[in-house]
Structure 1
Amino acid sequence: MILIGQYDSPFVRRVAIAMRLYGFAFEHRPWSTFGDADKIAPFNPLRRVPTLVLKDGEALIESTIILDHLDELAGPDKAMIASSGSDRRHALKICALATGLADKGVSLLYERVLRKDHQSKIWVERCEAQIGGVLDVLEKERAGIASPFWSGVKISHADIAVACALRFTSEAHPRLFDPARHPALADHAARCEALEVFKEIVQPLIPPAG
């Protein structure tokens, strides 16, 4: 399999970490959605990442869909999410909040870099409010869990998604993620980032000037 996208993307990173934890071999093509858009287009007309190209040439897009396929390949006993019921719904909710957090962070970064002196004040304030709101909800949720990870002693997609989103947010918008205000999330991120797979699959974000 071929995974397309750079690891500074929280979406690409969460997929790559899951693939490593599952033991799936893959070739990594660290293509940029801007600089390498023409390379990505034949596999994904949206020119977005992550894109996962399967052995038969089929291309899967969007991290949630890719992970759903990987869970199927891993099987229910190894999948890093419950197969059904309230546990699955809850895990998917946490993943949705985390990916939404990352998406708003990306939108805010693009607004700052691409629009520079013509940023929309309303849009910036909306994105910042959404980021703050999600962080507060995730902090309350994580603070109420005593186990090492979201669903117990084993890492799950929810753990990975939150940790990847937090790293991106802290690098892209450091003033929006305050560990003192969100200590449970800061502890969660540190626990995940200390794992070897997180150390291996990482690309520090260098926000463009703007």
Structure 2
Amino acid sequence: MILIGQYDSPFVRRVAVALQHHGLAYEHRPWSVWANAESIAQYNPLRRVPVLVTDDGEALVESAAILDALDGLVGPERALLPPAGEARRAGLRVCALATGFADKAVSLLYEHVLRAGDRRSPVWVDRCVTQISETLDLLERERAARGGDFWLGAFSHADIAVACALRFLGEAHPSLFDAARRPALAAHAARCEALPVFAAVVQPLHVAV
């Protein structure tokens, strides 16, 4: 398999962590959505990452769809979310919230990178900050209420999605994540980042357009 995209993307990284967890061999092509856009377009015309090219040449796109395919590949006993039921719905909800605030963090980053100060939209910036902050507040309350090492009791895609999103947020917008204010999320992120499967796929944030 081939994983396309840089590990500083929370979406690419969550796929890489799952691949590492399952011990699935893959070639990593750390292509940039800017510098290598046309190379990415050969596999995904949206020029977005991650892309996972399977051994039979199929190009899978969008992190949730890729991870669903990996769960199917390893089977229900090893899958990082069950195939159906309450635990699956709960896990998918947490993943959606985590990737949602990560997406807003990406949008906010590009607003700062691509627009000079007087060209930035204060309405858009405020909206993104509000969406991120209120989602973090919700996730903090829910993580604190659950306790334990992992969100659903056992290591799952929910743990991966939240930890990858928090690392990106902390690097892209450090002022938006206060560990003292959100100790349950901070502890969750630290616990995940200490795992070998996370440590194996780390790249400092770098944006070049």
**Which residue of structure 2 aligns with residue 138 of structure 1?**
139
Instruction: Report the counterpart of residue 97 of structure 1 in structure 2.
Output: 97
In the alignment, does 2:63 pair up with 1:63?
yes
Residue 135 of structure 2 aligns to a residue whose secondary structure is: helix
* Runs of 4 or more consecutive aligned structure 1 residues displaced over 6 Å after TM superposition: none
Looking at structure 1, the residues matched to 176 and 145 of structure 2 have their Cα atoms a distance apart, in angstroms, of 22
- Equivalent residues in 2 for 1:65-80 (5 A)? 65-80=65-80
Q: Spell out, residue by residue over 1:75-98, the C-alpha distance to the aligned partner (whole angstroms, 9 max, x if none).
A: 000001122111111100000000
Q: What does residue 193 of structure 1 align with?
A: 193
Tell me the amino acid that sits aligned with residue 205 of structure 1.
L
- The 2-side partners of 1:74 and 1:180 are apart by 38
How many Å separate the matches in 2 of 1:31 and 1:55? 19
- How is 1:29-178 mapped onto 2 (pairs within 5 angstroms)? 29-117=29-117, 118-152=119-153, 154-178=154-178
Separation in 2, partners of 1:66, 1:135:
25
Deviations 1:44-94 (A, max 9, x none): 000000001111111010000000000000100000112211111110000
Q: What percentage of aligned pairs have identical amino acids?
A: 64
Distance, in Å, in 2 between the alignment partners of 1:180 and 1:206 is 26
TM-score (norm 1): 0.97
Residue aligning to 1:11: 11
Instruction: Output the CA distance in 2 between the equivalents of 1:34 and 1:206.
Output: 12
Distance in 2 between the 1:15 and 1:146 partners? 25
What displacement does 1:146 show? 2.1
- The CA deviation at 1:207 is 5.4
Greater Cα shift, 197-206 or 122-131: 197-206
Number of corresponding residues: 208
Please, which runs of 5 or more residues in structure 1 have no aligned partner? none
TM-score (norm 2): 0.97
Unpaired runs of at least 5, structure 2: none
CA RMSD of aligned residues (A): 1.2
SS for the counterpart of 1:144 is helix
Distance 1:48 1:207, change over 3 A: closer
For 2:207 and 2:146, locate their aligned partners in 1 and report how far apart those are by CA, in whole Å.
33
Rounded to whole Å, the distance in 2 between the matches of 1:43 and 1:88 is 29
Paired with 1:82 and 1:136, the residues of 2 have a C-alpha distance of: 27
Shift of 1:116: 2.1
Given that residues 172 and 207 in structure 1 are in contact (C-alpha distance below 8 angstroms), is that contact kept between their aligned partners in structure 2? no
